[in-house]
Amino acid sequence: MAALSAKKALTVLMIDRDERFMVLALEEARAAALRGDVPIAALVVRDGEVVSAGSNRKERDPTAHAEIIALRRAAEAAESWNLRGCTLYVTVEPCPMCAGALVLARVDRLVYGCADPRAGACGTLYDIVRDSRLNHRCAVRRGVLERECARLLTDYFLERRKSRFPSGL
């Protein structure tokens, strides 16, 4: 069996790492669902270590998206707004607000699970994080554990509809 090239081996390691961190993000998203919030979660990772995590908490704050919370916590931990060298893992494609925050925070890389056809701003409706007119761009990897991320959202909203409209009303 031929040895893997260095580039191929690095790609395999990154895939394994991306999936490993997305599993952690999914755990955080499940916790959000248990407390009644939309199950979306984000992690900021630097040098293979989780720096911060966040999940949606939008009941009283429309800006309390998982990505914003994770970025704020990471900036606090780093004692700097500049998050170069970091990767943000999020279960759902970021919206325009969150994509803008990724650019402003200088995050190097974005990894997300499922696309958001209604508000996705990292390749679906817009592509803010890779817009060459802006002063920073992020590398993007989409579709990591996509089915699991999408299923978590679908199940959450199905349950929510059932509780709102019992007996199929």
Instruction: Name the DSSP class of 122.
Output: B
Q: Please say whether the beta carbons of 122 and 129 come within 8 A.
A: yes
Dihedral pair phi/psi, residue 61, rounded to 5°: -140, 110
Active site residues: 67
Structure tokens at 94: 């970021």
The region that residue 85 occupies, defined by phi over 0 for left and psi between -120 and 50 for alpha, beta otherwise, is: left
Q: Please say whether the beta carbons of 108 and 138 come within 8 A.
A: yes
Who contacts 112 (Cβ-Cβ below 8 Å, separation ≥6)? 89, 90, 91, 92, 93, 94, 122, 140, 141, 142, 143, 144, 149
Q: Which helix (H) or strand (E) holds 79?
A: none
